[in-house]
């Protein structure tokens, strides 16, 4: 029996169910159908990767279940909201029917709005005119303010001058007050002297009536008689003062 080299066998492009593998065991030679050919994970080089993927798949599956439960809850909430919205839509539909009867009122309101718009336009025109007039008044007031500012500066200078004059007048008033007080004292003294002189004149008159006069320059006196004499004197150019004294006259 001649041997056949495997390399001499024809090649195929794919393996399908029903195709056989030649398996040599220690005791015999056997065939294995391709559909029964299974490679366990432990016999692969990517076993760890597959295990990691399995773990991640399990985690993702748990997340999917959780999301499914949340979606179910959210869907229930959404369905309830949809039911509420449906009720609201029905109510709004009824309101729309009612509002359709308001068309005439809306047209009236539109006419009112048009009228108000015309009034607004008129007011804008009037406001423009008033603003121009106000601008002119502002210019005039600005000129007046400038003039008033100049007048204020002039008045400020005058006030400063008047303040100085008032200070000088106050000093003069104080000096005059002192002089008036001195004159008042002198007047009081003069009044007292006048009273004294009046008393002396009365005494002289009585004396002349009593003793008579021998001549225009002589007085007929008793053996002894007293007479009061008044003299006007001044000390160092000061205020004149009246002085009186008595002299004792004796007839020879």
Does residue 145 sit within a domain? yes
In this prediction, residues 111-139 reach a mean pLDDT of: 89
Same domain, 123 and 164: yes
Q: What is the pTM of this model?
A: 0.25
50: containing domain: 20-96
**Does the pLDDT at position 182 exceed 70?**
yes
pLDDT tens figures, 60-81: 999 999 999 998 989 899 999 9
Structural domain ending residue among the three candidates 96, 129, 158: 96
Does residue 113 sit within a domain? yes
Residue 31: what pLDDT?
94
Does residue 182 sit within a domain? no
**Does the pLDDT at position 240 exceed 70?**
no
In this prediction, residues 78-91 reach a mean pLDDT of: 92
Q: pLDDT band at 195, cuts 50/70/90? A: confident
| Percent above pLDDT 90 for the chain | 37
Same domain, 119 and 166: yes
Q: pLDDT band at 142, cuts 50/70/90? A: very high
Does residue 7 sit within a domain? no
pLDDT tens figures, 17-52: 999 998 999 999 999 999 999 888 888 888 889 889
Same domain, 113 and 162: yes
Does residue 115 sit within a domain? yes
Does residue 15 sit within a domain? no
Q: Which of the pair, 226 or 96, is modelled with greater confidence?
A: 96
Q: How many CA atoms lie within 13 A of 233 on its CB side?
A: 9
Mean model confidence pLDDT for the chain: 81
Same domain, 106 and 61: no
Q: Which of the pair, 200 or 148, is modelled with greater confidence?
A: 148
**Does the pLDDT at position 4 exceed 80?**
no
pLDDT tens figures, 203-226: 877 766 665 544 444 444 444 545
Same domain, 31 and 92: yes
Residue 107: what pLDDT?
77
């Amino acid at each position: 029996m001649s041997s056949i080299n495997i390399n001499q066998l024809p090649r195929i492009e794919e393996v399908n169910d029903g195709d056989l593998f030649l398996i040599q065991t220690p005791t015999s030679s056997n065939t294995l159908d391709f559909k029964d050919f299974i490679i366990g994970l432990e016999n692969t080089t990517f076993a760890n990767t597959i295990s990691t993927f399995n773990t991640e798949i399990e985690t993702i599956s748990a997340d999917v279940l959780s999301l499914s439960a949340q979606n179910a809850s959210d869907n229930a909430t959404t369905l309830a909201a949809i039911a509420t919205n449906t009720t609201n839509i029905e109510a709004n539909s009824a309101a729309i029917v009612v509002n359709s009867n308001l068309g005439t009122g809306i047209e009236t309101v539109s006419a009112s709005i048009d009228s108000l718009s015309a009034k607004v336009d008129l007011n804008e025109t009037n406001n423009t005119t008033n603003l121009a007039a106000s601008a002119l008044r502002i210019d005039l007031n600005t000129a007046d303010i400038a003039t008033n500012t100049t007048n204020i500066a002039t008045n400020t200078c005058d006030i400063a001058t008047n303040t100085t004059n008032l200070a000088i007048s106050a000093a003069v008033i104080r000096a005059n007050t002192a002089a008036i007080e001195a004159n008042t004292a002198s007047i009081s003294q003069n009044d007292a002297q006048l009273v004294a002189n009046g008393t002396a004149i009365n005494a002289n008159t009585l004396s002349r009536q009593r003793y008579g006069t021998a001549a225009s320059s002589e007085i007929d006196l008793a053996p002894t008689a007293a007479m009061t004499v008044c003299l006007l004197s001044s000390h160092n150019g000061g205020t004149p003062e009246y002085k009186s004294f008595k002299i004792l006259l004796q007839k020879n």
